[in-house]
A and B are shown apart, each in its own frame.
Chain A
């Protein structure tokens, strides 16, 4: 892998992709990495397709252009497949993680590709059971760090507590922690 990990998040506005991209970056920073995270802004309205990005590196990040060839694509909303090109610029060895009840094999058939690595996790289902709301961002982060072990589960949980404390009720924080842990365990590979 190149010396910088680049991640593109696909979601609908309101699903928390920006928060997830920042949480990942902040956790990586705590682990001693250099980071950059930024959403792509357009006409903001809930439910509209949006993208967010995270860069993680061992060296200071000076580049300020967008990410065109991500190493990993995280899809928070499966209904985006076919609507937006989630494969854009993703190299043949790239990784795709999709929030769906389907298996990676089924997603592969739908995407009609033979290369790249595909992983799936039912992040919405997990979020409903743990947080009580269909917000798939934190479980998708859990799945991501299992697939790409750039930071530890423990570090993510600690950072989430730090970021959410004071902003959310303790049960919401607890729900998010459980969501991350469950997605970390339940993410499926081919």
Chain B
């Protein structure tokens, strides 16, 4: 029997280790808190000759993504890492990476956006990129960071997908937390991700192509619709890869996870590290006989609309926890998408919007217990409360 290797490791170092095991052709990156250690550790691997990667240290994140795009268009397997202002600075290049259908894999240690300056975790950076055409996967803990990176490579490079993938995890909360993970042997990783065969390459002089040409009123629209279809159609492939990874490791991944949802009347929806904390609350309340459950959204783009509808349609009240804001609106991004998805269904839960944890503000089991109490009161009165901020001083 194969022995399982367990190590204690921080989130960022686990990401760097996964990068090393993927051994990509090119990494172009610019370090930024709280993702710095990914680049720092990986550059050590490069310096020690432990990877074959061409490491391109650049002067900004905009350049990092630009170099990744160039390398990926040349047919390389490309990875990078960033956070917060770094992701914001990449913004225009993100759209180019996805529209050119380049399978770049990027980890994002999700962090608040300035101002005020704050280095801690929230999802504002990723949500700023939610319409950029990238696949977005969120990781609950250090193990999931490690696992999601390998799956991201396989999803991105699937010939039917050919899209960049962002693997998010909560800045500091997960990026700088030491936890135990099970790791794979290099050969197992290599055989899972396979050898990358690019569909096109700028360096293939026998089959010359144009990359990034002009497409005006007569064709731009068609390109964008084709790209949107590609993103939508990646959903079953993400599921398939999650199952294959499960067959390999025993750790199965789906686009959502239903936790104690059987017979659940009151449900909390969350992403990333908060899911772990919410599991504790659901367990404790279930022990008391309360019909509560938890829905984890692992994949935010493409939005797993049908999976979410099926999970929530029989629920009485759902509390949707967003770790980012849509200022001037009535709920966070997760709330907007879930309520929109449920709009056409006669039978649907009452939905309560929550925003929590901005700038790394801690969310505790007590906070989530209070959310469940509020959901039960909302069921009695039959209508939701206005957007509620968890743990904020007003």
Q: Are A63 and B276 in contact (CB under 8 A)?
A: yes
Q: Are B176 and A41 in contact (CB under 8 A)?
A: yes
Q: Are A29 and B6 in contact (CB under 8 A)?
A: yes
Q: Are B8 and A62 in contact (CB under 8 A)?
A: no
Q: Which of A29, A37, A64 has the most CB of B within 10 A?
A: A64
A96 within 8 A of B: no
Given known pairs A29-B180, A38-B176, A39-B176, the reply for A63 and B8 (CB within 8 Å) is no
Q: Which of B8, B119, B276, B279 contacts A41 (CB 8 A)?
A: B119
Q: Are A62 and B280 in contact (CB under 8 A)?
A: yes
Q: Which of A29, A41, A68 contacts B364 (CB 8 A)?
A: A68
Q: Which one of B59-67, B166-174, B188-196 is at the A interface? A: B166-174
Q: Are B365 and A62 in contact (CB under 8 A)?
A: no
Q: Are A64 and B178 in contact (CB under 8 A)?
A: no
A22 within 8 A of B: yes
Q: Are B277 and A63 in contact (CB under 8 A)?
A: yes
Q: How many angstroms from the CA of A59 to the CA of B277 in the assembled complex?
A: 14
**What is the interface residue range for chain B against chain A?**
20 to 34
Q: Which of A39, A64, A65 contacts B141 (CB 8 A)?
A: A64
What count of chain A residues pass the 8 Å CB interface test? 18
User: Residue-by-residue, is B142-182 near A (CB-CB < 8 Å gives 1, otherwise 0)?
Assistant: 00000000000000000000000000001011101111100
Q: Are A65 and B178 in contact (CB under 8 A)?
A: no
B residues less than 8 Å from A66 (CB atoms): 362, 364
Given known pairs A26-B8, A64-B277, A65-B363, the reply for A36 and B179 (CB within 8 Å) is yes
Q: How many angstroms from the CA of A35 to the CA of B181 in the assembled complex?
A: 10
Given known pairs A25-B8, A26-B8, A41-B119, the reply for A62 and B176 (CB within 8 Å) is no
User: Residue-by-residue, is A27-56 near B (CB-CB < 8 Å gives 1, otherwise 0)?
Assistant: 001000011111101000000000000000
Q: Are B277 and A37 in contact (CB under 8 A)?
A: no
Chain B residue with minimal CB distance to A39?
B176
Q: Are A64 and B176 in contact (CB under 8 A)?
A: no
Chain A residue with minimal CB distance to B120?
A41
Q: Are A64 and B180 in contact (CB under 8 A)?
A: no
Q: How many angstroms from the CA of A67 to the CA of B177 in the assembled complex?
A: 13
Q: How many angstroms from the CA of A25 to the CA of B362 in the assembled complex?
A: 22
Chain A residue with minimal CB distance to B368?
A65
Beyond A36-B179, A37-B177, A61-B179: 6 further Cβ-contacts under 8 Å? A25-B8, A35-B180, A41-B120, A64-B141, A64-B276, A65-B365
Residues of A within 8 A of B (CB): 22, 25-26, 29, 34-39, 41, 61-66, 68
Provide a sorted-by-A list of 24 A–B residue pairs whose CB atoms are within 8 angstroms: A22-B178, A25-B8, A25-B178, A26-B8, A29-B8, A29-B180, A35-B179, A35-B180, A36-B179, A37-B177, A38-B176, A39-B176, A62-B141, A62-B280, A63-B277, A63-B280, A64-B170, A64-B177, A64-B273, A64-B274, A64-B276, A64-B277, A65-B277, A66-B362
